[in-house]
Amino acid sequence: MRLNGEISIANVDDDDDGDGERKENELGLIRSPTPTAPPTRLVVGYALTSKKRQSFLQPKLLALARSKGILFIAVDVKQPLSDQGPFDVVLHKLAGKEWSQMIEDYGQKNPNVTVLDPPDAIEHVNNRQSMLEDVADLNLPDYYGNSVIGFWAVKLLIGRVTVPRQLVFTTDPSSIPHEVTKEGLKLPLVAKPLVVDGSAKSHELFLAYDKVSLAKLEPPLVLQEFVNHGGVLFKVYIIGEFIKVVRRFSLPDVCKRELSKIAGVFPFPRVSCASASADGADLDPKVAELPPSPLLEMLARELRLRLLFNIDIIREYGTRDLYYIIDINYFPGYGKMPDYEHIFTEFLLSLEQSKYEKVLVA
């Protein structure tokens, strides 16, 4: 149990006199003292789906966390949060208004507890309309880097970030072809479910090659202009201040000739998953080149309303500096990210350090 703000999980051997020295037993063999677990520095309450628990709370993460004094405790979602803990951090990924209200009330009543992440921040990411509208509203500036040409120091454009043009439809699929024509969206179009709720259906994607077939789609949905990007996207994982980029195979480019010969709406498999890794593949260097780090750092700062998320970014094929954000995911599959257990434990400890520094300043 937790006493005076600390949980002791030390395991002390009955024969250990506490002096830390090795001792001989009756047989004259050298016996090392039983190792003592470090005192708990951070208690993390978690409320996750069974799928997320299995993928995220892997034994390696839990063991490393324990060695650093971090304890993960399951939250009983049927009981008030105020009757549990106390927690330093609450980590959650559950759907439903009742849970969202519970965690929001808990965060307001316990301002010293870090909630990862606040429900209002998650809500924007779980809706593909508000998700990219938030990015567009940031009015991200072009990013310039310094370079030296001859004797002159000059600024060179190294990145522009925007979002694809999109339309949202909540009812009446028969109106989709007319609205697409009216708004001037260019084919092909990517169709995505409007709400991201963690279900397999919310990740079902379709590619539409002609306007007439758009009426076959089932709202609510988002239609995004497809941007040729060399068949590779960049998945940018963000955990607090940490940024990790991996390459994933994506949809192949669509040429005008292909577009003129194909009609219909076609489902395509979920792209950007770990099994579609393009790291180490023999790629065109112009396609494989990662987005510049300063550009990604700027994006992370601008989107820092959330602490646990990733961004799917593509670079328009034939350009070096034009990037599109096509999706944002809250609390993604970090378990598939290399070395995630070290990164996440360091992130949790940084939260503790940040609180400590605020107390000192106060």
Residue scoring higher pLDDT (105 or 26): 105
| Angstrom distances, CA of residue 355 to CA of 16, 45, 222, 348 | 36, 17, 40, 11
pLDDT (tens digit, 9 = 90+) per residue, 141-200? 665 555 444 445 444 556 788 899 999 999 999 999 999 999 999 999 999 999 887 777
The contacts of residue 71 (CB under 8 Å, 6+ apart) are 7, 9, 40, 42, 43, 44, 65
Confidence of residue 272 (pLDDT cuts 50, 70, 90): low
| Angstrom distances, CA of residue 346 to CA of 31, 64, 112, 223, 274 | 33, 10, 19, 39, 23
C-alpha to C-alpha distance for 139 and 129, rounded to whole angstroms? 16
Q: Over pLDDT 70: what percentage of the chain?
A: 78
Return the pLDDT at 140.
67
CA 163 from centre of chain: 18
pLDDT (tens digit, 9 = 90+) per residue, 218-247? 999 999 999 999 999 999 999 988 899 999
For the chain, the straight-line distance linking the first and the last C-alpha, in angstroms and rounded, comes to 30
Bond prior to 188 in cis (omega within 30° of 0): yes
Q: Classify 234 as helix, strand or coil.
A: strand
Beta bridge partners of 24: 30
Mean pLDDT of 22-47: 61
Residue 288 has pLDDT above 80, yes or no: yes
* Range among 59-68, 136-145, 237-246 rated most confident: 59-68
Angle between helices 340-361 and 59-67 (to 10 degrees): 40
pLDDT (tens digit, 9 = 90+) per residue, 154-166? 445 567 888 999 9
Q: Side-chain half-sphere of 302: how many Cα atoms within 13 Å?
A: 17
Residue scoring higher pLDDT (122 or 185): 185
